[in-house]
Amino acid sequence: MGTTDGTVSAPGARAAAPVRSGASPVSGAGARYGAGTRLPGFLPAAAAYALLVALLSAADTPPGDIARYTGYLLWAVLLPGTLVFRALRRRPHTLLEDLALGAVVGLALELLAWAVLVGLGLQSAAAAWPLAVVVPFLAVPGLRRHWLPRGYRRMPAGWSWSVAGTVALTGGYLYAVFLSRNPVLPDTETTRQYIDLPYLLSLAGNAKHHMPPTFPQAAGEPLHYHWFTFAHMAMGDLVGGIDLTVIQMRLMVPALAALAMVVTTAVAHRLTGRPWAGPVAALLIFAVGEFGAGYPNDSPSWTFGAPAVPLMMWASLSLTYSQPLLMALVGVVGDALRGRGGREDGGVPALGRGALVLTALFALASSAAKASSLPVTLAGLAFAGLMVLIGTRRVPWTVVGLGAIVAAAQLFATAAVFRFRSYGLEVVPFGNIAKYWADPQQSRTAAARSAVVAVTLVAFLLNHQLRMAGMVPLFRRRRLRLEPAQWFLLGGAVAGPAAYLAVNGFNSSYFTLAGLSFGVLLSAWGYTEVFERAALPARGKAALAVGTLAFVLLLTYGIHRHAEDWAAFALRTVGDAGGTASYAALVPALAAAAALAGIAALCGLLWRAAGRALPALRRRGGLVLLTAALAAGAPALLLDVRQAGERPWDGAWPLPASQVQAARWVRAHSAPEDVLATNTHCRSDTDYAHPGAACTNALSFYLSAYSERSVLVEGWAYSPRLLSERSGGFWDQRLLALNDDAVYRPTADVLGRLRAEHRVRYVVVNRRTGPESPALKTLSTRVFDNGRMAVYELS
């Protein structure tokens, strides 16, 4: 990979490395942008943006919406955030860092703007809120310099294109598995949509009109949930004038995924002092998934909770939104812990005292973006503080101060947003994985039970943590004498999966995913150091790249074509041909890991023997082995794309266009304060092919989602009250009966009470759920009817 001056820059090479005689020192620590170089420097970013636009256009995204969303991000996120970030950091480093961390600052400022605007009912002025930042930066002389700062470090062209490549990778993946397979609005009666998406859309619609948001499926019910994501979505609508459905189904996810890539790149560069650690860390957090040997990888086959990429990237919008916030928080905390003062490390100037303000901003924004972010961060700080205290016998006051800031943000979220509710999580050590060593018949010996427990834990580490292998040579080289920032990263990397093992419930797997933000930085740090020491020539780098790609493709092909046969072989080998053992689901991956380890050992012996004749191979086998270990989870991404083309996602339920049409009609003919009543509380996997079937799942969210209005009683399955109290049904049976009577047993008194006491304006009837009483049209006015759906207005 070449720099713009023709020199060769190895991934992981320190910025301050000497340059050849006569060459322009563009890769040196003090290199800056010069005249005539700005346009080429922007070409990688322009190419990545053009590709994202092309993918969105191919997915039938209206061009006007793409333009408006771009304008919204530039005006209301990037511009105010970058100006504030420049004012807080001490000296410029790279333009990418200013824009990446500036965008995250913009997301944090946006939350404050949303709270003020929606709280005061000033939504119509939302587009003007960035003036609160722009005007001072124009009027105050000391702030004007931040419009056109000087002194940016110029990065190699190959590095810039690699960062653009990570953005292109996320866009291409999302197009293949999400954008091209989901219409913006359901367009047929057989359209299916992932079950959580209407619920998440309903929260964004509620956030347009309520501060704090309420639970839209039960009008007026508090929403004790991490809802910051949906305030962000609401601001995209209020500022950009873009329909929420377009934001959710097209624009937001690719934009935030791209931001996560560039933030990861900037943070890895800042903490390690090695530019190439950035793209490596970005690939580890996105392109490399969980290690496994199964296909397909639907949710019933997930052995250790939610995976990092499949499904979660676009179905868990709170995860997608929280990733750049958490990574930015890790970056500024890690920078403060490095304690460089005015010195530079690898050409990276310290942020300075502004890091404390940035820590507070990012911690507050992360606090209710994803509930798993701050606990893992606090654990990382606690671990760093303990290790520094042991090593120096002095109180690490920097760690204490940072911990106090993060703890205050966590307390704010716990008390003010979550109201001390656990959302169904409870401490049950190993509750999520104990099923794999369950022995209800007590048929195993003590030694066998211990072996199964050990094997299960090894399987967990292989599945989720193999991409962390890069930290092993880092620790080995330093003999565990780590810097405070490295202890912090290690603490977070360990705390994430440890929390999953300690806290029972599927949602605890998000702790594991939070830990990835810490672990991939350490892993990339170690990998780039190993790459540096290997000092590969250009041909060696090309051979490593081609070999890695071939390894990934071969592994992908083998899993796709032979996963079932391999599972049968592995189970027969351990004497469980029927797959009845509690640990049977883990056997294929463990057998695959054992086979790969055996092949690696054989290749290592051959490599050592070949090194006697070929000196170029010496002291480079470790790099090849580490690269293979890190890439072993890469097939997950490719298989995910393949799976999306072969079968629908598990968890996709019918969402007929006629239902959405009725809800959108209501949105166009109602006020935000109007409440709706409906007879639909559940979803049917067969779209009510059997009328009168019992309602057992309470998972209907479409009406509140597409009407952007609160419903008196819709589907209550995701309500914080229900999940925290672990009750089975709706908590107010009298209200539920009153709601349903409006459709099936209407009287003037019933409808009058709904209108006077609960502000219900429309009764929305789904006739597939159950036809309305003929009396309803005599007691109210039918204002919409498409055959399946009818809407009645109460006078």
What would the mean pLDDT of 317-328 be, rounded to a whole number? Answer: 97
Confidence at residue 363, expressed as pLDDT on a 0 to 100 scale:
98
Give phi and psi for 176, each to the nearest 5: -70, -40
Rounded average pLDDT over 12-19: 38
**pLDDT single digits (tens) 494-553:** 999 999 999 998 889 999 999 999 999 999 999 999 999 999 999 999 999 999 999 999
pLDDT band at 18 (very low <50, low <70, confident <90, very high): very low
pLDDT band for position 25 (50/70/90)? very low
The token duo for 189 is 């009666």
Instruction: State phi, psi for 278 to the nearest 5 degrees.
Output: -65, -60
Question: What is the structure's pLDDT at 35?
Answer: 36
Average pLDDT over residues 17-31: 35
- The reported pLDDT for the residue numbered 740 is 97
Higher pLDDT, 442 or 783: 783
- pLDDT score recorded for residue 727: 65
Which pLDDT does position 795 carry in this prediction? 85
Closest CA to 339 of 378, 375, 300, 392: 392
Mean pLDDT of all residues belonging to the chain = 92
Q: Are 76 and 236 in contact (CB under 8 A)?
A: no
Report which DSSP code applies to 445: -
State the amino acid at position 691 in one-letter form.
P
Overall average pLDDT of the 22-41 stretch: 42
| C-alpha 349: how far from chain center | 29
Residue 339 has a pLDDT of: 72
What is the reported pLDDT for 310?
75
Alpha-carbon gap, residue 440 to 442, rounded angstroms: 5
- The mean per-residue pLDDT over the stretch 203-219 comes to 97
Q: What is the pLDDT of residue 726?
A: 66
Q: Look at residue 84 in the predicted model and tell me its pLDDT.
A: 98
Token pair of 521, please? 């930085």
Please compute the mean of the pLDDT values over residues 276-296 and round it to a whole number: 95
Q: Where is pLDDT greater, at 727 or 417?
A: 417
| Most confident segment among 21-25, 504-508, 597-601 | 597-601
pLDDT 10s digits, 664-689: 999 999 999 999 999 999 999 899 88
In percent, how much of the chain has pLDDT > 70? Answer: 93
Task: Report how far residue 134's alpha carbon sits from residue 121's, in angstroms, rounded to the nearest whole number.
Answer: 23
pLDDT average, residue stretch 456-478: 94
Q: State residue 9's pLDDT score.
A: 39
User: Strand runs (DSSP E) across 100-215, as ranges?
Assistant: 192-194, 214-215
- The rounded distance, in Å, linking the Cα atoms of 474 and 572 is 39
Q: Are 306 and 320 in contact (CB under 8 A)?
A: no
pLDDT of 69-123, one tens digit each?
999 999 999 999 999 999 999 999 999 999 999 999 999 999 999 999 999 999 9
Give residue 441's pLDDT band: very low, low, confident or very high (50, 70, 90). confident
- Give 8's DSSP letter: B
Q: What is the pLDDT of residues 233-275, one digit of tens each?
A: 999 999 999 999 999 999 999 999 999 999 999 999 999 999 9
pLDDT digits (tens, 9 = 90+) for 359-389: 999 999 999 999 999 999 999 999 999 999 9
Contacts of residue 595, Cβ cutoff 8 Å, sequence gap at least 6? none
Model confidence band, residue 479 (pLDDT cutoffs 50, 70, 90): confident
**Counting every residue, how long is the chain?**
795
**pLDDT of 487 strictly over 50:** yes
